[in-house]
Amino acid sequence: HTRSLCDWSSDVCSSDLTSLLLKRPVTVKVVVTPRWKEEAQQQLQLQISQLDEQSEQLDFQGQRAITELKQQSISPPGPQVTQQIDNIQIQVNQQKSQNLERKNQFLQQIQWIQSLKPGEEVVQAQMESFFRVEKGDNLIEKLNVEILLRDGIVEEIRGNI
């Protein structure tokens, strides 16, 4: 015989289900305060400093690798060694270019943060949470949930929990 609506292994029939546990996105917003602006800018400045250090390290490591290649090869270096040197320089320059792009993005974010007015709400993150949905619930309302933070403290939870 067939088992159309029932899962016999768990002895639960679809007609017996009263609710489901689902996952939903939760938007985390922050209220702009002087403290938040300062902390956000400090965090971005730290990331910029780390990118600058990475770029310096890339230069150093690239030059060291090139020097070792030149020392191990005959003089003048053959076409294979010249190609390896070129490849190292290309890799270093590509990574430094990516770092520079990220640094510029961080600088733009700092400018944007500086332009924000106290009391404005900005999206800081997306998270996920589980929620129970039952027959008759408004799913759209249950999906729209926000958490509002002020200096790291939950000030408000918006939506149908």
C-alpha–C-alpha distance, residues 111 and 44, integer Å: 11
Distances (CA, A) of 91 to 47, 61, 116, 148: 22, 11, 38, 43
Token pair 């400045």: residue: 45
C-alpha–C-alpha distance, residues 26 and 32, integer Å: 19
- The more confident residue out of 132 and 72 is 132
Q: What's the mean per-residue pLDDT of the chain?
A: 89
pLDDT over threshold 50, residue 119: yes
C-alpha–C-alpha distance, residues 67 and 45, integer Å: 33
DSSP characters over 88-135: HHHHHHHHHHHHHHHHHHHHHHHHHHHHPPTT-EEEEEEEEEEEEEET
Residue 51: CB atoms within 10 A of its CB come to: 18
Per-residue pLDDT at 97: 95
pLDDT, one tens digit per residue, over 47-63 is 999 999 999 999 999 99
DSSP 16: G
pLDDT, one tens digit per residue, over 70-114 is 888 777 878 888 899 899 999 999 999 999 999 999 999 999 999
**Segment (H or E) for 51:** helix 34-72
Residue percentage of the chain with pLDDT more than 90? 73
Dihedral sign from CA coordinates of 141, 32, 152, 156: negative
What global pTM score does this model have? 0.71
Radius of gyration of the chain (CA): 28
